[in-house]
Amino acid sequence: MRKNPLKAAFREQQPIINGWLAIPSGYSAEIAGHQGYDSVTVDMQHGMIDFASALSMLQAISATPATPLARVNTNDPAQIMRLLDAGAWGIICPMISTAGQAQQFVSACRYPPLGNRSFGPARALLYGGKDYPQYANEEILTLAMIETREGLDNLDAILDTNGLDGVFIGPNDLSLTLTGSASAESQHPEMLAAVERVLDRCRAHNKLAGIFCTSGQAAANRLAQGFHFVTPANDVMQLGSAARTAIAAARGETAPATGTSGY
Ligand code: 3PY
Ligand code: MG
């Protein structure tokens, strides 16, 4: 089976730079996959993406050096299994708040006897090779999103889940629940402490620590802080920001206007 390079990167403590796609397009997914990302995630939760688009995006990413991942819209075993069958090499699951939820998530990603994933690997066989069923349990990456106060309280129990590779902080939701306002780069003391706690517990459990970021610089800061897996913004933010920079240059302005793109 095609190995999952993200697992090796984590073992070797190499940073993983992950692209994040909200635009439902195989073409833009293919472009993203050719830019140098280690992995590219199809975001089914807040992206404008249905299953048919996700399938063509996973196909497009598969034709690039990047490893294809998906963020599901909820902890739904049927959706998780279908995206794995479609060739996602890892799943990011939002709103994991208890060990039971983490267990349900990981079970959906693992064939028996480790889990309850139903058999029918479809496109995963084409991308992964005919021995996919034998090795999928080892190669598929599982990241639980920590983005609620309850998830933070249950962090150790979540990280104890067998077969869970790590956690991914959703800083917008986490700061919303902790401080009352959503901000991916929140400097609120409670948020700063929460992020440090996730890093500390991941180190103690030898699990991957990931976080969503809103720029390349923010992602670099998170890597320096100790994170292994970062997103330097999503496609929508990058498209908006590149457009504003180009427009400002065309108008002879020094700084791009502030505009809205992404969240
Ligand atoms: C969050 O910041 O809450 C996320 O889910 C990132 O997409
Ligand atoms: Mg979130």
Rounded Cα–Cα distance for residues 243 and 73 (Å): 29
The CB of 166 under 6 Å from ligand 1? The reply is: no
Ligand 1 pocket test: which of 46, 149, 176 has the largest number of ligand atoms within 8 Å of its C-beta?
A: 46
Rounded Cα–Cα distance for residues 167 and 222 (Å): 14
Find, among 228, 221, 214, 239, the residue nearest to 32 by Cα: 239
Give, using CA atoms, the residue closest to atom 4 of ligand 1: 170
Q: Which ligand 1 atom is at minimum distance from the Cα of 145?
A: 5
Contact 109, 163 (CB under 8 A): yes
Residue 178: partners with Cβ closer than 8 Å, 6 or more residues away: 149, 152, 188, 190, 191, 194
Would you state the pLDDT for residue 184? 93
Query: Which domains, from first to last, does the chain contain?
Result: 5-251 (3.20.20.60)
Q: How far is the CA of 169 from the centre of ligand 1 (A)?
A: 7
Token pair of 9, please? 């990167």
| From 79-83, 188-192, 197-201, 257-261, the region with the lowest mean pLDDT | 257-261
Contact 22, 32 (CB under 8 A): no
Which residue of the set 46, 188, 205, 228 is catalytic? Answer: 46
pLDDT tens for 157-199 read 999 999 999 999 999 999 999 999 999 999 999 999 999 999 9
The CB of 212 under 6 Å from ligand 1? The reply is: yes
205 catalytic, yes or no?
Answer: no
Which residues are found with C-beta within 5 Å of the ion, ligand 2?
A: 147, 170, 173
Which residue type does 7 have?
A: K
pTM beyond 0.85: the answer is yes
DSSP 3-state of 70: strand
The CB of 47 under 6 Å from ligand 1? The reply is: no
